[in-house]
Amino acid sequence: MESAYFYNRKGHTAVAEGNLEKALDFFKQASRLDPDNISYLDSIIWSIDKLGKHDQALQYYEKLISLQPRNTDFRLRKIDCLKKIGLLNAALDAYNEAIDIDPYDSELYWKKADFLRDHENIEGALLSCSEAVRLNPENPVYRQGRAEILAEIERFEAALSDYDYLVVHNPTSPEIRYERVKILEKLGLVDRSLQDMETISRLRPNDQTWLQIVAEFFEETGRHEKALSYYSRLIELNPTKAEFYFFRANLQENLGRNKEALADFHKAIELDPDNKLYRNDSRLSPTE
């Protein structure tokens, strides 16, 4: 009779040959001969996953868990399997079991929060995420996750508190500041939002994507001269991009500066003559 090691080797050879069904059969034979070997069980689960037969993996996850009942990683892998086959209530129960085993692991609460949020249990997600933050208050992912949930349920002041913390601990991130700007706008704190947008422009003085966001923000909030300065900066950085001239032209026209607007419209058309939008929106006649 061949050994478990023999069948395990045959299984890996079959994997190398691309025959996953045959590999799975060999790994199962190895596991029958040595049922407590975690490596063989892992190989079975890997093969089943590659074959897309996720429902067949559950019994092997149960075996892994029985061998190491306090191993939360095995339980998290089982949860992924449960989610793949749509057993969501069982997945939630498994999250709770993992947390019962290690109630001080902030990552378990975070993963549970992410799961609940994906399945529209926002209040449950907030509770679990808040517990992750309590256990590991310096983790920026947990903080931002909670801020996003709070914003989603329109608890803007609480969300702002988390974003303020994040900005203090990562003041050079334009992404975090921009998320805070959205909350500041909801709370009507216009001056603070303007300050954040100015800071973003200083943090990314040559980043065209960010400068366009800043320019559009100032235009939308009625700070037209500021917006013009940023559109001009964009043109300075990329003088062959037609849309920057088009953006500035529209703003110039809205301000009644027809001569300057016409020059920008013509430049946009010169750079992109096939763009019908530019031609249609060039409402100024050459005599204006």
Domains of the chain, earliest start first: 223-288 (1.25.40.10)
| Section 80-88 average pLDDT | 95
pLDDT digits (tens, 9 = 90+) for 53-65: 999 999 999 999 9
CA 121 to chain centre: 19
Radius of gyration, CA atoms only, the chain: 29
Contacts of 111-118 with CB under 8 Å at 24 or more apart are: 111/76, 111/79, 113/145, 113/149, 114/145, 115/79, 115/83, 115/91, 116/92, 117/145, 117/149
pLDDT digits (tens, 9 = 90+) for 134-164: 999 999 999 999 999 999 999 999 999 999 9
Please answer whether residues 150 and 158 qualify as being in contact, where contact means their C-beta atoms are separated by less than 8 angstroms: yes
Q: Is the pLDDT of residue 98 over 80?
A: yes
Considering the chain, what percentage of its residues have pLDDT values greater than 70? 97
pLDDT level of residue 285 (50, 70, 90 thresholds):
very low
User: How distant, in Å, are the alpha carbons of 7, 29, 39, 77, 192 from that of 1?
Assistant: 11, 12, 21, 34, 77
Residues of 60-99 as b/e, b for ≥16 C-beta within 10 angstroms?
bbebbbeeeeebbebbbbbbebbbeeebeebbbebbeebb
Please answer whether residues 113 and 128 qualify as being in contact, where contact means their C-beta atoms are separated by less than 8 angstroms: yes
Quote the pLDDT of residue 275.
84
| Section 262-284 average pLDDT | 81
Query: 3-class SS at 35?
Result: coil
pLDDT digits (tens, 9 = 90+) for 188-218: 999 999 999 999 999 999 999 999 999 999 9
State the maximum Cα–Cα separation within the chain, in Å, rounded to a whole number: 98
Q: Is the pLDDT of residue 288 over 50?
A: no
- Return d(Cα 249, Cα 262) in angstroms, integer: 7
| Section 240-268 average pLDDT | 94
pLDDT digits (tens, 9 = 90+) for 167-194: 999 999 999 999 999 999 999 999 999 9
